[in-house]
Amino acid sequence: MWNVLTLLRRPKAAFGVAVLLALTLIRIYDAVWPYDPVADVDMARIFAPLSLEHPLGTDQVGRDTLLRILHGTEAFYFPGLAACALAAIGGIVGGGLSGFYGGVFAGTFRYVTALITAFPRFILILLVCSIVEGGMYLIAALTGLVYLPQVAETVYRKVLYFRSTEFIEAAKVHGLSDGRVLFYHILWYNCLPPILKHLLYLFGYVILIETSLSYLGGFGVQEPDPSWGNMLAQAREYILQGQYVFAIAPATAILITILGLVSLGDAINEWGAR
């Protein structure tokens, strides 16, 4: 029923899909020809100028910036997907069930999401990451967790809306099970675009959170592994020496990626609201 082709005809969507596709291709490329951040250190070529060999130059210990940008996708690609999965499953199941059945479950779920929303998120991430060592997956999971209430809220409101109409009664008269009504008829047919929009934004938000954490004293992805965030955060230390490419490269990567995700979300939303 969701005609994907009509979606792709929108330029915003095409751009977003292209970005996602590019990220995926980079991941495949990186998995086939893995990058070794340790072997890439070369003190003889610190801040090498742009050249064919190093199209984006090198960093303060002679590592190739382009290779690090490409490998930097590893930092958020799967963790970002994991965050989306967490927010989607938690949000859809929690929001859907509490909208559909209400009662004690809805109350408890609402309480948990209220706790998550109220807790200052950077402090949550800082403290939890100090207690448990989990690297980027933990950061992403926590980001997904703080985003979960928004997904749940969207689903919850949709389900409530349908409950107020005769839609569900009509479906039940036709002998459909609760699960089928909730997950297939309500969520799949009517909630997909807003949920997708949330998840695309969340995916980008994982990158942004990692960047912020890297900036705030290096709490993001840890060296020697690259991430766009830690590259950008390190680059600011070299601005006084005029090493601009070093900063521009990861910044551009972040910008294009998130812009792609947001545009796709926007397009899906418009398309879903037709």
Partner 1 sequence: MRGLLFTIARKVAFFLAVLIGVSFAIIALSRAVPGDAIDQITDTPEQRAQLEAMLGLDRSLVSQYLHWWGNVFRLDFGESWVLRQGERVSVLIGPAIWKTTKLIVPALALTFGGAFLLIALFRFDGLPWIKKVIGSSAHLLSVIPLFLLGYLLIMAFNVPVYALMERGVIGRPAWFALPAEETLLKYALAVVTLAVGNGTLSDVLLHLESEVTQLVRQEFMVSTRARGGSFWRHFVPNILVPTMTVFVNKAGFFLGGVVVVEYVFNINGIGMMIWSAANLRDVPLVIAITFLVAALVAFLHLSGDLLQVAVDPRVRES
Partner 2 sequence: MLVLVVALAVYVVPGSRVGAQGAQKALRYAEDLAPRIVNPLFTTTMSEIRMNELIFDSLFRENYELQMVPSLVQDYVFKKGGTTMDLTLRSDIVWQDGAPLTAKDVVFTIHAYTNKRTLSPNARQVSFIKTATATGERSVHLVFLKPQDYPERKLDFQILPAHKFRSGSYVKRNDPFKNRPIGTGPFVLTHFGDDNSITLERNEHYPKPISIPGIVMKEIPDKSQQANLLKYESLDLVVKVLPKDVAALEENRKIELYPYQTNSWWYLGFNLRNPVLKDKRVRRAIACSIDIEELLKPIGTGDILSGPYVKSSPYYNHDPDVKPAHLDLPRAEQLLTEAGFTRGAEYWERGGKPLQLKLSVPRNQDSAREVVLNLQTQLAKAGIKLEPSWENDASWKKKIWHDRAFDMVLAVWTFDAKEDIYEQFHSKGAKNFVSYRNPEVDRLLQEGLQTIDPQKRKEIYRSVHRILNEDIPYIFLWTLDSYSAISTRVQNVTIHPFAYFSFIEDWVLK
Chain positions contacting partner 2, by CB under 8 A: 38-39, 41, 43, 46, 60-61, 130, 217-219, 222-224, 234, 236-241
Question: In the range 31-60, which residues lie near partner 1 by CB under 8 A?
Answer: none
Those residues whose C-beta lies under 8 Å from the C-beta of residue 15, and which sit 6 or more positions away, are: 259, 260, 263, 264
User: Is the CB of 46 or the CB of 170 nearer to partner 2?
Assistant: 46
User: Is the CB of 86 or the CB of 232 nearer to partner 1?
Assistant: 232
User: Is the CB of 105 or the CB of 244 nearer to partner 2?
Assistant: 244
Give residue 146's Cα distance to chain centre. 12
Tokens of 200: 């695309």
For the CA atoms of the chain, what is the radius of gyration?
22
Helix (H, G, I), strand (E, B) or coil at 58: strand
Diameter over CA atoms, the chain = 76
The Cβ of residue 249 has, within 10 Å, a number of other Cβ atoms equal to: 23
Q: Which does 241 bind (CB under 5 to 8 A by kind): partner 1, partner 2, none?
A: partner 2
User: Is the CB of 157 or the CB of 185 nearer to partner 1?
Assistant: 157
Those residues whose C-beta lies under 8 Å from the C-beta of residue 123, and which sit 6 or more positions away, are: none
By CB under 8 A, how many residues form the interface with partner 1? Answer: 51
Phi, psi of 64 (to 5 degrees): -70, 125
Q: Which does 138 bind (CB under 5 to 8 A by kind): partner 2, partner 1, none?
A: none
Cα torsion through 98, 101, 107, 110, rounded to 10: 10
User: Is the CB of 35 or the CB of 201 nearer to partner 2?
Assistant: 35
Phi, psi of 134 (to 5 degrees): -140, 0
Least Cβ distance, residue 30 to partner 2 (angstroms):
20
User: Is the CB of 73 or the CB of 214 nearer to partner 2?
Assistant: 214
Q: Which does 165 bind (CB under 5 to 8 A by kind): partner 2, partner 1, none?
A: none
Q: Which does 82 bind (CB under 5 to 8 A by kind): partner 1, partner 2, none?
A: none
Length of the chain measured in residues = 274
Tokens of 119: 């807790």
CB 186 within 8 A of CB 158: yes
| Contact residues: partner 1, CB under 8 A | 102, 110-111, 114-115, 117-124, 126-128, 130-131, 146, 149-150, 153, 157, 164, 194, 197, 201, 204-205, 208, 211-212, 215-217, 229, 232-233, 236, 239, 251, 254-255, 258-259, 262-263, 265-266, 269, 273
